[in-house]
Amino acid sequence: MAPPLMEPSHGEVDIVNLQVRYAPHMPLVLRGLTCTLPGGMKTGIVGRTGSGKSTLVQALFRIIEPAVGHIVIDGVHISKIGLHDLRSRLSIIPQDPTMFEGTREEQSGST
Ligand SMILES: Nc1ncnc2c1ncn2[C@@H]1O[C@H](COP(=O)(O)OP(=O)(O)OP(=O)(O)O)[C@@H](O)[C@H]1O
Ligand SMILES: [Mg+2]
């Protein structure tokens, strides 16, 4: 059984020399990314199309395995965190989230 995340969870994400490719014969998409996402706050990731934002998210969720490097959350290597624990504790707001469009009609007397 996978060990639980350390409690209370601070939420610091350490990304160390992350190198990710989609297949062995394909070039690296992430070429040695190292950074720390502080716990307790929201972090925005920006970059032009194709720069690897979604790829990073897939590595965080362990949808793709890095070729080199690793990700640590609160001191625990994500490969040691159960998939359900990992995925249920990460919140991602993608680009172009569906927001309300247009004007909102005021309605009175109904809910
Ligand atoms: N499933 C895949 N197989 C092979 N290559 C892929 C795959 N998904 C993405 N790529 C390639 O990886 C690179 C990074 O793509 P990624 O989708 O991570 O970029 P992004 O920053 O999320 O872009 P966007 O802003 O358009 O969403 C691009 O060169 C893309 O073509
Ligand atoms: Mg994307």
**2 in any annotated domain:** no
**94 in any annotated domain:** no
pLDDT at 92: 85
pLDDT at 111: 61
Question: For residue 65, what is the domain's CATH number?
Answer: 3.40.50.300
The count of domains in the chain is 1
pLDDT at 4: 55
Q: Which of 17-31, 71-85, 92-106 has the lowest mean pLDDT?
A: 92-106
Please check the confidence at residue 110 and state whether its pLDDT lies above 60: no
Query: Is 66 close to ligand 1, i.e. is its CB under 6 Å away?
Result: no
**Ligand 1 atom nearest to 52, measured from its CA:** 18
Contacts 24+ apart (CB under 8 A), 81-85: 81/2, 81/3, 81/5, 82/1, 82/2, 82/3, 82/4, 83/2, 85/2, 85/4, 85/5
How many whole angstroms separate alpha carbon 36 and alpha carbon 75?
12
At residue 59, the 3 state secondary structure works out as helix
Cα-based angle 48, 35, 84 (whole degrees, multiple of 5): 90
Please check the confidence at residue 98 and state whether its pLDDT lies above 80: no
Considering the chain, what percentage of its residues have pLDDT values greater than 70? Answer: 82
Query: Is 94 close to ligand 1, i.e. is its CB under 6 Å away?
Result: no
Query: Is 109 close to ligand 1, i.e. is its CB under 6 Å away?
Result: no
